[in-house]
Structure 1
Amino acid sequence: MKTKVALITGGYTGEAEVSFKSAAFVQAQLDKEKYAVYPITITLDSWFHVTDAGIKISVNREDFSLDIDGDIVMFDVAFIILHGSPGEDGRLQGYLDMIGLPYTSCGALTSALTMNKEYTKAVISGIQNLYVAKSVLLFGPDRQGAGDVVQKNLTLPYFVKPNAGGSSIGMSKVKVPSELQEALDKAFDAANTGCQVLVEEFVTGREFSQGIFRNAKGELLVLPATEVRTTREFFDFEAKYVAGLTEEITPADLTEEQKERASRIIRDIYIRLNCKGMVRVDFFLEKDTDKFYFIEINTIPGQTPQSFIPQQVRALGMKESEFYAELIEAVIAPDPTLRT
């Protein structure tokens, strides 16, 4: 009997467009002989599945089931590929926990925590060989005097970004004081990001992104790193999704010592944050000091053909179909110790 997979996509933010592309790629890779995959779209207005015949079926939110011509479809596992809220901030995970449906991502608490960049930095503080940029966290009531607070505590240039956003939406690099207020307003006004803004001192160096996942045997496997080189000021939304603006090198050109150090750091981050499934850690390797600086962690990484994780999976020598199957089997494995 095939494993019934709810492939959850969509979302409440501007990242929904990327979620649809990611979900389409995952669906195309999954073994159709082994998995019966049902794409489920979640929006602010509705939760639904569209059948092969083009019929829109609403999800029964009491148990996350589908009624297709009188046939009640109950799922064995949810494959969450919904970037941003509610798939990456713990809301969806909390709901799935309540109805008892296992899923492929981090749990509700970890998801909620890691959507908050500054709170995440506080938890991972102290990990050996990992550094974090000096920063200021601003809340909605602080908006009036935010510029003064930033300039008093930090040294230019700054990175200004929503504290709970994704895909670099609402992010700016500030090089002179006159640019600061516009950058703060842009970050505060970014939709569905919680009205918190994080301002960090700029770290000069090479930028990397690296995935890690737990396989069906319960083993933690670190994927090869990707180095990001962009013609933009930084790796913003356009750099991520507009062709030709960014060069991505996978596997990255790192020394063996740097690879081993990064691997240890990423494993420690995964364990410290109690992650599950696949996650991706972004970091800088600071120029001159050779220190790894944490940027952020992404618990629902993009899965388009050009996304970092698929690149890294291929560099590891795996097929994407095998990789996604590992994520599913790790969740439904009969041995509960493999789910920790």
Structure 2
Amino acid sequence: MKKNIAIIMGGYSSEHHISIKSGNVVHKYLDRNKYNAYRIVITKDRWFYLDDNDQEHPMDKSDFSITTDTEKIHFDCVFNAIHGTPGEDGLMQAYFELLDIPQTSCNHYEAALTFNKRDLLSTLKPYGVPCATSYYLNKGQSVDEDAIVDKVGLPCFVKANRAGSSYGVSKVHKKEDLGDAIENAFSEDNQIIIESFLDGTEVSVGVITFNNEVTVLPSTEIISENDFFDFEAKYLGKSQEITPARISEEQESNVRQSAEFIYRTLGLKGYTRSEFIFIGDVPHLLEINTTPGLTEESLLPQQAKIAGISLEALFDSAIVEALR
């Protein structure tokens, strides 16, 4: 019997439209011989099922079900394609754990931890995972620009602590520009992280569970036409994404080991994509995405393709592992 799969997409953050694209690609490539696929759009105002004619039908949040003209449909598994809150920060994961519905991303605590850049880096530092020097700031706190520059130097990166797709991120070259960058970051989150600039090759590494084994995908080298890998570089073609990355065998080995170590140490599952910058041969962790982009052009599908894994097989594996 076919499994009923809910593909959740949308979300509450600035990444809503990107998530819709990812969810539609998953819907397109899921094997219809094995699965009945349903697009479920999550917004702050309402949750609804979007049928093949793009007609909207309400969800029953009490048990995460939909009712058609002929039947009430429950789901065997949820495919999580929401970037940002509430799909990447643990909220949806906790909801499905309470309802005892399997879902494809990591569990609620691990999602919340990895989505919070400050907590993630603080957790991994005792394990010896290298990262940039950082300075934390909460909304309402006084801003000491001299203290910030003394700790992290210039240039530096000002980032929203809990956001993705480079929303709320600025590269600051001059102290007098810190104020605007901090205001921009606070437009996305009430917590920010300010990090020292790491001057080196940037790579992205996907780690997935595939055929019941933790699998590290080929790394992707990121070369932005802009000052850093910002929204335009990620989504508007202002970057080169080279897979496999043009790095040495030692660098590739080091970054693969680091990505797998983090995945296993944090108890992650499903898909992850970790971002690193090399200082010499040592990869320094920037962040981890636990619901990375899943369009044909996104980094993780690119990496899977180089590894010989089709989109059909990639998406199927996520459901198989969740149901396992």
Quote the residue 2:177 is aligned against.
Answer: 179
Aligned to 1:303: 294
Match for residue 267 of structure 1?
A: 260
What is the deviation of 1:53?
A: 4.2
Partner of 1:234: 228
Mapped partners of 2:42, 2:227: distance in 1: 34
Query: C-alpha separation between the residues in 1 aligned to 2:19 and 2:54?
Result: 20
| Structure-to-structure mapping, 1:119-198, within 5 angstroms | 119-128=119-128, 130-142=129-141, 144-190=142-188, 193=189, 195-198=190-193
Matched, 1:114 2:114: yes
Cα distance in 1 for residues equivalent to 2:53 and 2:183: 46
Distance 2:106 2:303 in 1: 20
Equivalent residue letter for 2:91: R
Q: Would you say how many aligned residue pairs link Structure 1 and Structure 2?
A: 324
In 2, Cα distance between the equivalents of 1:18 and 1:250?
Answer: 22
Cα displacement (A) at 1:149 = 3.3
Question: Given residue 319 of structure 1, which amino acid in structure 2 is its aligned partner?
Answer: S
1:35-79, CA deviations, whole angstroms, 9 ceiling, x for partnerless residues?
110000000110000223443211111110110114011100000
Report the TM-score when normalising by structure 2. 0.97
Alignment of 1:3-152 (within 5 A): 3-128=3-128, 130-142=129-141, 144-152=142-150
Stretches of structure 2 lacking an aligned partner (at least 5 in a row): none
SS in 2 for 1:145: coil
> Which deviates further from its counterpart, 41-50 or 253-262?
253-262
Q: Residue 25 of structure 2 aligns to which amino acid in structure 1?
A: F
Q: How many Å separate the matches in 2 of 1:284 and 1:145?
A: 28
2: CA distance, partners of 1:52 / 1:181: 47
Change (3 A) 1:263 1:67: same
In structure 1, give the amino acid aligned to 2:112: A
Match of 1:284 in 2: 277
% identical aligned pairs: 37
Q: Distance in 2 between matches of 1:149 and 1:5?
A: 51
Q: Kindly state the Cα deviation for residue 264 of structure 1 after the two structures are TM-superposed.
A: 1.2
Stretches of structure 1 that go unaligned for 5 or more consecutive residues are 334-340
Question: Given residue 237 of structure 1, which amino acid in structure 2 is its aligned partner?
Answer: F
Partner of 2:316: 325
Letter in 2 for 1:135: S
Q: Deviations over 1:233-265 (max 9, x none)?
A: 00011111112x101101112222222221111
Task: State the partner residue of 1:337.
Answer: none
Aligned position for 1:199: 194
Q: Secondary structure at the match of 1:121?
A: helix
Q: Is the 8 A contact 2:254 2:281 kept in 1?
A: no
Shift of 1:212: 0.4
Task: Name which of 214, 236, 240 aligns with 2:209.
Answer: 214
